[in-house]
Amino acid sequence: MPIQNVYMNQGTWIFENDNTIPHGSDSYMMAGVMYTGKCRPLINFNNDGFSGQILGGSLFVYCSNPNGYPWIWGYRVTRDYYHNATWSIPWTTPGCDHVWADRSDIRLFTSTRAKSGWIEMPVADLTELLNVINGKDTILLVGGDAPAARIEKSPAPYLAIEYRSSLVGGVQII
C-alpha cells in the first residue's frame, strides 16, 4: 500500500509552570515533566487530501534529548487551536484536559517511550486519525511522569498515512 507523508503545519507546546507564556516561536516542543510542571506539544498538520481510502498510519517526531525517556501518547484536539496557545488559553480546562470540550478521550496513538532520534507512534484508533486528516485537527501529545523529552520542529513531525489508492491507470475510481 502507498504511504503519504503529511507534515506539521504549526507546532507549539504548553507548560503548566508558565501558564500564560506562548511557545509557538520556539524551535522545539517539550513532552513530559519539567521542573514539576507538565509539558504538552500541540501539532497541527497541513493536509491537501488523499485519493483513496486511509488504512492506518503513524506519527513520527524527532527527539534530540529524551531526558527521562517518558512515555508519550496523543489525542485529537476538539477545539480550534492557534499557534500561541498557553496552558490556560483557549482551553475549558487548563492543559487541554477537558474531555470533549478540549480533546477526545480516545487515544489516537499507541503509547511510545521517547528515545534519541525518530520516534514512531502507531495509530491506535483509525476513526480518530480520519478526524485529524479530514478536519485538519490538531494533535495533543501527553507525556508521562518522567522528565520531559525535547521534540524538534526541524526535522518536522509528520504523519505517515497508509492508504489504498483510488486511482487506476491514472483514472479516479469513485
- Comparing CA positions, the residue from 160, 61, 162 lying closest to residue 112 is 61
Contacts of 107 (CB under 8 A, 6+ apart): 73, 74, 75, 124, 125, 128
**How many Å apart are CA 78 and CA 65, to the nearest integer?**
29
Contacts of 88 (CB under 8 A, 6+ apart): 19, 20, 94
Contacts of 78 (CB under 8 A, 6+ apart): 100, 101, 102, 103, 104, 137
The radius of gyration of the chain from alpha carbons, rounded to an integer in Å, stands at 16
Domain ranges, residue 167: 3-172
Mean pLDDT rounded to a whole number for the chain: 88
Task: List pLDDT tens digits, range 116-140.
Answer: 999 999 999 999 988 887 766 789 9
CATH number, domain of 43, equals 2.60.120
Count of domains for the chain: 1
Most confident of 41-50, 80-89, 146-155: 146-155
Task: List pLDDT tens digits, range 103-119.
Answer: 999 999 999 999 899 99
Q: Does 172 have pLDDT greater than 60?
A: no
Once rounded to an integer, what is the mean pLDDT over residues 141-159? 92
DSSP annotation of 136 reads T
Residue 171's pLDDT is 55
Phi, psi of 135 (to 5 degrees): -95, 0
Task: List pLDDT tens digits, range 30-60.
Answer: 999 998 899 999 998 876 666 678 899 999 9
Residue 48's pLDDT is 66
What's at 76, amino acid-wise? R
Q: Does 174 have pLDDT greater than 90?
A: no
